[in-house]
Structure 1
């Protein structure tokens, strides 16, 4: 097999697959005709950006790479500290302090560097997300560029060269405004400098939209559709380059997203509910706080006293609330958590030393929002109803874009209905480069898509798990393809 392949992964943060169409996204639609659509492509739990993208680059679920959420409580130090992974400077410090163990599994950039190859990253996500794509880029002299944040950029001379050629790094706009300039800047940087001069073996080009606009305007709102169309036009520039030059140079192109969105319909307060049940919650550790409620759409609760009785009391309080969806605690056995009514966090691949004592999703449903999109949820933030949210286990949150085209993917204009996921991309790329995927990877090589790949008869099965407590019921569904397992959805109701 020819190993002189290169790969360009183009990511659209938070894009629902069902928003791709010939009118709104003609260039993504064009790619569908040029390649294979992964029709059952999914992300990991929690369906948050800074858990999902680490899964992209490690090929591993959250329990293996350790990025347990966008935010988490670090209890490896005394006193415990609250970690916001959007902070690139903090992430670098954590990696150095831990002796290079920010991730609990090797990442794609590290593996490529060990094998004499390179990973370039260009992203308009938060500075922390940009670093997480390749958190050791400066160690290897690899290119990592943020479309807005200088602290996430390396090497300095590459940034200087690009600013000289295409213009200064644009400032990040307020979140309520559409980020067009950043997407334009990173696209031009890749096409005009990074590709022609550095020819990375793998490039991640990550558009931080439509995620932000969906959060502040709504997933199907006019503003969100506008930024989707704009990102698609920038992708069109990349696709034009690929058709004219990249394909002949052995470039395989992938278009992905890290998660979908559903719509918040009912505002609640988790802290108020827990306070009413006799707890003293807070958003950061302190002597008078007995449960830390980590802000976010995926629920993370850290108890000051995490013995089984206290965990059970917390779960009992939560499952009596109308907003409570699926709940997970540390394992009692292969299925059940230590608290009645909870499932084991192993079932959603969330067991890690950084994991919360109780992880939960807000209760979601299949209501249709004002834009005609299926998926609604309770939520806990200070924004109005009708805006996009993610983090949980609704199938529309888990659904992710997966489009692949290139010389090694022979079936054009078709769809694969075998389950796949964000963890499968890194092992597939490594396999095609002749590098053995690591044992830490939970994803699989997508052999069924590859030209000249040995036919593999993969057993496929589905399974579901349920538990009850009083009037509360939850159900989790998963799919297996060979040794790989994908979460299909989770629901809870009172």
Structure 2
């Protein structure tokens, strides 16, 4: 048995349709759609994909954000995980400790099996799919970036056959050439030559185009359709022989998108609150505000009183959504008004002193898509963002097909998540599942599964706040596994928390 994971970065499940994505929809008709599939928090690419390959949340694997501050470094180091060379250096300097739990590449290697990665994401993301591929002798190809590719001899052979790696497109331009190259590399080189036990084929779109054009914009829909057509080549191969060869297909995305509507400068706002913030550690900076859609705040003075002042200042801002600090107890953070970051499984030692999401709501954008938020970047309103706890940011694609799965064109309404794919793959390959995995085997969608309605579901709702600020977090438990359903800040015009 073999497994092929096909990922579409940032694809919202509600953008899948017969008109826009006929090939993904073909798989839905013959497989099972995970209709309550969710990602992790922060809902960022380089948190979610490490969760895919570790089967665990960020408090286990340690990739706590697209960017984070390494407090253990001297001096403290600002880490941009999009940088493949930096990721490689940090892993070597930590003796393989970049990820703090085993990854799929390591687990498969130890079981005598192989993982191949082909991706058009950033070079750092591509490396994070199998960050020790060089050590294991596994193949990892980027559609653009040589620094993320391994081994060099196989890359040279692939380029001799397929043509050289195409250059990355200009910033904000849809990426078409890279999608063609990695698809051809899988079909014409990797599979015929290696037949990997597990392959990750990761299309880096529509994420980039959504960020620069809008989640429902014409350019974004065009690149979704283009990537679907490339996947259609893979699906034709699968139906012609891949399925009979025992290949199982998993279709995924790492997060959804909502629409940026109201802009704010968090640094300027926190200056007004009496702090001296900056975007990275520096002399005189008493508060690092990591750039991005997820609020990640690192204090120089980490005292409980100073932390309380920071959180109180946040609760008074109209742009601030749910707030998380280190746990005081199972629900509340050490700062009054905050949730414990353990509630969202973000309590790793690398985690910032404060996580916050921007305040979001269910307003409909110009393209008819639900989900609106405050944001902090230099781009115009109306563009796609993600990272927070709105249900549309957490909603991710999950579709399975193949002889190991139920193939009835049905929807499974049992909650599931990105951490569930790795343990399910190991189960199918008869490889022991490590205790570090927080995800579960998706037994309800396996061939021969019993009644899925017999699964035990337990909704959970948590509330806390400070003064007029009240926040709500929704989760759901499936047996021993917990999934995030959404989080928001309540106001006088909201009668109850958002429904998923």
TM tier relative to shorter chain: over 0.9
2:486 aligns to what SS in structure 1? strand
Distance between the aligned counterparts of 2:428 and 2:86, measured in 1? 34
1:137 and 2:133 are equivalent in the alignment: yes
1:480 and 2:464 are equivalent in the alignment: no
Distance between the aligned counterparts of 1:162 and 1:266, measured in 2? 46
| Equivalent of 2:69 in 73, 78, 87 | 73
Q: Post-superposition shift, 1:410?
A: 2.3
Q: Who is 2:338 aligned against?
A: 342
Whether the 8 Å CA contact 1:144–1:152 is kept in 2: the answer is yes
Distance between the aligned counterparts of 2:472 and 2:285, measured in 1? 31
Q: Post-superposition shift, 1:454?
A: 7.0
Moved more, 475-484 or 172-181: 172-181
Q: Post-superposition shift, 1:451?
A: 1.7
Whether the 8 Å CA contact 1:262–1:374 is kept in 2: the answer is yes
1:468 and 2:493 are equivalent in the alignment: no
Whether the 8 Å CA contact 1:363–1:493 is kept in 2: the answer is no
Q: Who is 1:200 aligned against?
A: 196
Whether the 8 Å CA contact 1:322–1:493 is kept in 2: the answer is no
Displaced runs of 4 or more, over 6 A: none
Distance between the aligned counterparts of 2:204 and 2:489, measured in 1? 31
Q: Who is 1:386 aligned against?
A: 382
Q: Post-superposition shift, 1:34?
A: 1.2
Report matched runs for 1:24-43 at 5 Å: 24-43=20-39
Q: Who is 1:14 aligned against?
A: 10
1:458 and 2:470 are equivalent in the alignment: no
Residue ranges of structure 1 left out of the alignment (5+ in a row) = none
Q: Post-superposition shift, 1:470?
A: 1.2
Q: Post-superposition shift, 1:307?
A: 1.2
| Equivalent of 2:115 in 119, 124, 131 | 119
| Equivalent of 2:255 in 235, 259, 262 | 259
Whether the 8 Å CA contact 1:362–1:377 is kept in 2: the answer is yes
1:247 and 2:231 are equivalent in the alignment: no
1:491 and 2:488 are equivalent in the alignment: yes
Q: Who is 2:443 aligned against?
A: 447
Q: Post-superposition shift, 1:298?
A: 0.5
Distance between the aligned counterparts of 2:391 and 2:281, measured in 1? 33
Distance between the aligned counterparts of 2:490 and 2:366, measured in 1? 23
Encode CA deviations 1:157-177: one digit per residue, 9 max, x unaligned: 111111111110000001221
Whether the 8 Å CA contact 1:138–1:154 is kept in 2: the answer is yes
| Count of aligned pairs | 490
Whether the 8 Å CA contact 1:175–1:213 is kept in 2: the answer is no
Distance between the aligned counterparts of 2:262 and 2:21, measured in 1? 31
Distance between the aligned counterparts of 1:277 and 1:192, measured in 2? 58
Distance between the aligned counterparts of 1:70 and 1:308, measured in 2? 26
Distance between the aligned counterparts of 1:77 and 1:238, measured in 2? 44
Report matched runs for 1:87-106 at 5 Å: 87-106=83-102
Whether the 8 Å CA contact 2:472–2:490 is kept in 1: the answer is no
Distance between the aligned counterparts of 2:214 and 2:73, measured in 1? 39
Whether the 8 Å CA contact 1:324–1:493 is kept in 2: the answer is no
The normalised TM-score by structure 1 is 0.98
Q: Who is 1:177 aligned against?
A: 173
Report matched runs for 1:246-395 at 5 Å: 246-395=242-391
Distance between the aligned counterparts of 1:344 and 1:311, measured in 2? 13
Q: Who is 1:229 aligned against?
A: 225
1:263 aligns to what SS in structure 2? strand
Encode CA deviations 1:291-321: one digit per residue, 9 max, x unaligned: 0000000000000011111110000001100
Whether the 8 Å CA contact 2:21–2:228 is kept in 1: the answer is yes
Distance between the aligned counterparts of 2:56 and 2:300, measured in 1? 29
2:78 aligns to what SS in structure 1? strand
Whether the 8 Å CA contact 1:143–1:154 is kept in 2: the answer is yes
Whether the 8 Å CA contact 1:267–1:385 is kept in 2: the answer is yes
Encode CA deviations 1:450-484: one digit per residue, 9 max, x unaligned: 12457785321000111121111100000000110
1:162 aligns to what SS in structure 2? helix
- Give the CA RMSD over aligned residues: 0.9
Q: Post-superposition shift, 1:38?
A: 0.2
Distance between the aligned counterparts of 1:92 and 1:63, measured in 2? 21
Q: Are residues 453 and 432 of structure 1, via their aligned partners in 2, closer, same or farther at CA, if it must alter by over 3 Å?
A: farther
Moved more, 384-393 or 461-470: 461-470
The normalised TM-score by structure 2 is 0.97
Q: Who is 1:427 aligned against?
A: 423
Distance between the aligned counterparts of 2:446 and 2:278, measured in 1? 50
1:56 and 2:52 are equivalent in the alignment: yes
Residue ranges of structure 2 left out of the alignment (5+ in a row) = 492-500
